[in-house]
Amino acid sequence: MKPFTSAPGFVLSDPKNRMFLWSFLIVISLVCGAYLVGNAFTTKEYKQRLARWGLIYKMPLVKSHACKRQCWPSGSDALPEGVVAKTSNLEMRPLWDSGKNNISSKHPLSLLAIAVGVKQKEIVNKIVEKFPSSDFVVMLFHYDGFVDGWKNLAWSNRAIHVSAINQTKWWFAKRFLHPDIVAEYNYIFLWDEDLLVENFDPKRYLSIVKEEGLEISQPALDPNKSEVHHPLTVHRAGSKVHRRYYKLKGSGRCDDHSIAPPCIGWVEMMAPVFSRKSWQCVWHLIQNDLIHAWGLDRQLGYCAQGDRMRNVGVVDSEYIVHLGLPTLGGPNGNEVPSDSHRESDRAKVRMQSYIEMQVFEKRWKDAAEKDKCWLDPYKPQANQTSH
């Protein structure tokens, strides 16, 4: 068998030729290695010089995987962890007070937030007086702009006042009750101004809510004095809490097999009370551009931190009166020049509410269909329109 030759007269089988080839390869390898090392060193030195000259931005070295931060607040990556203040609250601090003396005495608080007009000042005053300052922070959303009209009330100076003309409480809530702002409050009372609270005690109410495990709730409505929109909210004498409404005749029946609003797992929007955890979800559910929030109530159960049939309910033993006053819609908050103007504006407000409800329902439907990673826990009942 003939030996392999790469060129005439060059035979690898010759020991001298093999030695020459190996020496040649070693030299080439050393030259290439030296080139690569030198090039890397030169590039690094070049970049360092440019950085010193200010021609390029010298980025910090990438940290090890062990330093990777999980669920880090957006925008805080450039800060050391210990200095990041992730949440806030509505506590007011005097300019001369260090706050050190208040740290040890602080205890869990809740928040009462009400959309108000000065014409309902007397009603609102009675509501706020029911909520002890030791347990509740008060926040007023002034939709008529008359903030100074509340200064003569004893509690006004400790309340947080926010003013924006002709805006709903949901508009205010979306912009001023971010979960990171109200993270310290156990419960959020997001109430209308036209509520009578003669038979309501907030501390007893929260005691029942905690005992029953209600994440989303509302006080029942006195049916003899209230404007009632949905029978589920009606006060039941002798009952502490109810979660279900029964209608056994006609259309829209509600019975023991009903598992969806408005038969069960649902509260109305005039006096809802949210736990801290549920509010973290509800705030995201509130649409920034749909300020009337019609239709939102039917989806609140998704924020109930579990089964809406268990964690959403109406408290009977602490009940209220809903007057149903048509306060929004005037040219300057709730001040209107005439009855005819009032009726015209109220009709426009109501029409816009219906429009927003349709927009929200379509938006929810589209989102549920497009999000392939989201699982609807109530999907098997999606076609049961009467339950």
Residues contacting 221, CB < 8 A, separation 6+: 228, 233, 234, 235, 319, 320, 321, 322
| pLDDT at 55 exceeding the cut of 50 | no
For residues 143 and 166, give the distance between their C-alpha atoms in angstroms, rounded to a whole number: 5
Higher pLDDT, 251 or 145: 145
pLDDT value of position 236:
96
Query: Pick from 178, 170, 165: which is nearest to 90 by CA?
Result: 178
| pLDDT at 127 exceeding the cut of 60 | yes
> Does a structural domain hold residue 164?
yes
> Does a structural domain hold residue 291?
yes
Find the mean pLDDT for residues 230-236: 94
The token pair that represents 27 in the structure block: 């030299």
> Does a structural domain hold residue 130?
yes
- Residue 206, domain CATH: 3.90.550
The token pair that represents 102 in the structure block: 């208040």
Query: Could you tell me the sign of the dihedral formed by the alpha carbons of 247, 248, 249, 251, in that order?
Result: positive
Name the helix (H) or strand (E) containing 22.
helix 15-53
Alpha carbon separation from 206 to 17, 65, 274, 305, 318 (Å, rounded)? 96, 45, 11, 17, 10
CA count, 13 A, side-chain hemisphere, 85: 3
pLDDT value of position 18:
64
| pLDDT at 280 exceeding the cut of 70 | yes
**Bridge partner list, 312:** 216
CA count, 13 A, side-chain hemisphere, 36: 6
Q: ∠206-209-210 over CA atoms, to 5°?
A: 90
The answer to whether the beta carbons of residues 173 and 264 sit under 8 Å apart is no
**213: phi > 0 → left, psi -120 to 50 → alpha, else beta; which?**
left
Give the confidence band of 21 by pLDDT, cuts at 50, 70, 90: low
Question: Is this prediction's pTM over 0.85?
Answer: no
> Does a structural domain hold residue 273?
yes
Higher pLDDT, 99 or 374: 374
Higher pLDDT, 38 or 379: 379
> Does a structural domain hold residue 155?
yes
pLDDT value of position 307:
95
> Does a structural domain hold residue 359?
yes
Domain ranges, residue 187: 107-369
> Does a structural domain hold residue 341?
yes
In the predicted model, what is the mean pLDDT of the chain? Answer: 83
Give the confidence band of 171 by pLDDT, cuts at 50, 70, 90: very high
Find the mean pLDDT for residues 278-301: 95
Instruction: Domain count for the chain, please give it.
Output: 1
pLDDT value of position 250:
81
